[in-house]
Amino acid sequence: MDIMYTARATATGGREGHVESSDGLLKLDLLPPKEMGGPADRTGTNPEQLFAAGYAACFHGALGVVARRHKVSIEGSSVTGAVGIGKNDSGGFALAVELIVNLPGVEPEQARQLVEEAHQVCPYSNATRGNIDVKLTVA
């Protein structure tokens, strides 16, 4: 693989810590969600929110690439990432993802085709394939 860009971020303090990118553009405090023992009035994000945001943004980019190939406008489209975390059968934890894709003005069958093709192009999809459940939903 010919690497075009490498993102670097450093985490300290685990789920109750801080993350910061090497360029200083991303600086976030972390706190677990209240469902996992975090405070109800929390003022930090968590790794699952960061993963959901990154996957949704990347998938939307892949969708744009695929739509251009097919000469289809996806203006006004969006991708929402939902990342769940829970205990697995091995005593550890696992993730599950749902990507909800909204393609207004695109016929349902064509929308499904674009989403499936984007799933083959998206680097996050390629990284997670076979590792975690990823559900694709066309809204």
DSSP type of residue 30: B
pLDDT at 42: 80
pLDDT in tens, 67-97: 999 999 999 999 999 999 999 999 999 999 9
pLDDT at 46: 96
Interacting residues of 92 by C-beta distance below 8 A, sequence separation 6+ = none
30-34 mean pLDDT: 93
pLDDT at 43 over 90: no
Q: At 106, give phi and psi (nearest 5°).
A: -105, 130
Domains of the chain, earliest start first: 1-45 (2.20.25.10), 47-138 (3.30.300.20)
12-24 mean pLDDT: 97
Percent of the chain with pLDDT over 90: 94
Strands in 133-138's sheet, in edge-to-edge order, are: 78-87, 93-102, 133-138
pLDDT in tens, 118-136: 999 999 999 999 999 999 9
The number of beta carbons lying within 10 Å of the beta carbon of residue 45 is 15
pLDDT confidence band for 30 (50 / 70 / 90): very high
